[in-house]
Amino acid sequence: MKATEIKKDIFWVGAIDWNMRDFHGYSTYKGTTYNAFLLKDDKVVLFDTVKKNLKGDFVHRIRSLLDPSQIDYIVVNHVEMDHTGALPEMIDLVRPEKIFCSSMGKKALLSHFHREDWPYEVVEPGQSISLGKRSVRFIETRMLHWPDSMFSYIPEEKLLISSDAFGQHWATSERFDDEVDFSELMSHAAKYYANILLLYSSLVNRLLNNVAEMGIEIDMIAPDHGLIWRSSVDRILKAYSDWSVHKAKRKAVVVYDTMWHSTEMMAKAVADGINREDVSVMLMNLQKNHRSDVITEVLDSRAVVLGSPTLNNGMLPRMAAFLTYMKGLKPGNKIGAAFGSYGWSGEAVKQMRGIMEEMKFELPEPGIRVRYVPEHPDLTECLEMGRRIGRAVRESVSRENEQ
């Protein structure tokens, strides 16, 4: 794909990773992009680089615009290797006058590349530098999602280069939000938030408030992954605002694993009960759904209902793995419940409830255990529990919407 001019004399020069399928445990089944941007002014600036294996594409794309030696500055908004893998080679080609980064960025660069001789220029939060007709203001975004992370804002262009924030893992030939299917774009953005940023929701919320207080005008957000927001800036900002306060839809997700389909029968009855209360429900078998897709559905669900039979005095390993993942990401403001079949000991339900309790889920139900294979009365009990959860979801979401 060619270098794309996103604003006058500002170009996308990143790389498209069509083959990426697993991003440290996040299923990227449609690939991703590593976005980098080249700004031509009195000073020529490169914002971020790409993953090491794609440095050839990246350098080729830059050379279509200018010789890399014409670049004056490199800005490192984030040190994770998907954005700095190609940095050592770029520094050799560019011999930059300055490498701008946060104070934590400098530490992280030294820890990754062990190069004391690079021309680091540590910037203070809020500091601006002049490039000629334009300037760059650096906005500290510590822990979004690494300690080094920062944004670069170009006020003359109302352009926010937002590092990982507002990204999506989606490889496309298109570069802008209005060139692709919008609902698919938002589903990738939601998945990205759920798997990368959910843990840092309180910081996201604070950042959004700070940006509003600063009064900075934004008409384009250029993240380091996926499509650039130019027609739907307000919509992605609103979505981030909602996700950051754990706002939910009238929706529940029933997540389960099963050995001989008894817990699956219970899962279906619970889901049926939820849905009978006019609440949307997703039924997700952990044998068939990747944990990163399950957590995406958790993001905007009010209730999370977990099902597992008991194996070796515990829950099934896939459920344990999912709960480790979900606990780490800290989804908030959820109603939880648990159920499962068992043969003789039956600890799984208690264990799943215990983890949800640690996560501060509201747990209005004691949970349901069924010995071996459920019969009609057992499934009726599951359905009734589903109905009670469905009503609780409906009431909770209605209360939230009235506020």
Distance CA 79, CA 291 (A): 26
Task: Return the number of the residue (146 or 339) whose C-beta is nearest ligand FEO.
Answer: 146
Please say if 234 is a catalytic residue. Answer: no
Please say if 225 is a catalytic residue. Answer: yes
Give the start-end residues of each E strand in 86-205. Answer: 98-101, 120-122, 128-130, 135-140, 150-154, 159-161
CB burial string 196-210: b at 16+ within 10 A, e below: bbbebbebbbebbee
Segment contacting ligand FEO by CB under 6 A, of 74-82, 198-206, 227-235, 282-290 = 74-82
Minimum Å distance from CB 257 to ligand FEO? 30
Minimum Å distance from CB 83 to ligand FEO? 6
Q: Does 164 bind ligand FEO (CB under 6 A)?
A: yes
Q: Does 300 bind ligand FEO (CB under 6 A)?
A: no
Q: Does 48 bind ligand FEO (CB under 6 A)?
A: no
Element (H, E) at 210: helix 201-214
Q: Does 83 bind ligand FEO (CB under 6 A)?
A: yes
Q: Does 188 bind ligand FEO (CB under 6 A)?
A: no
Please say if 246 is a catalytic residue. Answer: no
Please say if 145 is a catalytic residue. Answer: yes
Instruction: Give the Å distances, CA to CA, from 343 to 261, 339, 391.
Output: 13, 14, 31
Please say if 24 is a catalytic residue. Answer: yes
Q: Does 82 bind ligand FEO (CB under 6 A)?
A: yes
Please say if 261 is a catalytic residue. Answer: no
Task: Return the number of the residue (292 or 310) whose C-beta is nearest ligand FEO.
Answer: 292
DSSP symbols for 309-322:
-EETTEE-HHHHHH
Distance CA 249, CA 400 (A): 10
Minimum Å distance from CB 78 to ligand FEO? 6
Question: Which tokens hold the place of 35?
Answer: 């976005």
Minimum Å distance from CB 298 to ligand FEO? 21
Q: Does 369 bind ligand FEO (CB under 6 A)?
A: no
- Check: CB of residue 46 under 8 Å from CB of residue 72: no
| Helices within 233-261 (DSSP H only) | 233-244
Among residues 41, 140, 224, 293, the one that binds ligand FEO under rule CB under 6 A: 224
Nearest Cα neighbor of 197 from 17, 47, 26 is 26
Task: Return the number of the residue (83 or 134) whose C-beta is nearest ligand FEO.
Answer: 83
Residue tagged active-site, from 78, 83, 169, 188: 78
- Check: CB of residue 164 under 8 Å from CB of residue 34: no
Task: Return the number of the residue (48 or 378) whose C-beta is nearest ligand FEO.
Answer: 48
Q: Does 78 bind ligand FEO (CB under 6 A)?
A: yes
Q: Does 7 bind ligand FEO (CB under 6 A)?
A: no
Please state the φ and ψ torsions of residue 163, each to the nearest 5 degrees.
Answer: 55, -135
Q: Does 80 bind ligand FEO (CB under 6 A)?
A: yes
Question: Which tokens hold the place of 30?
Answer: 């449609």
Decide: residue 314, CB within 10 A, 0-12 exposed, 13-18 middle, 19+ buried.
Answer: middle
Minimum Å distance from CB 143 to ligand FEO? 11
Residue tagged active-site, from 26, 34, 145, 381: 145
Residue partners of 402: CB distance under 8 A and separation at least 6: none
Q: Which residue in the shown chain puts its C-beta closest to ligand FEO?
A: 80
The residues that touch ligand FEO, with contacts defined as CB under 6 A, are 78, 80, 82-83, 145-146, 164, 224-225
Catalytic positions, please? 24, 78, 80, 82, 145, 164, 192, 225
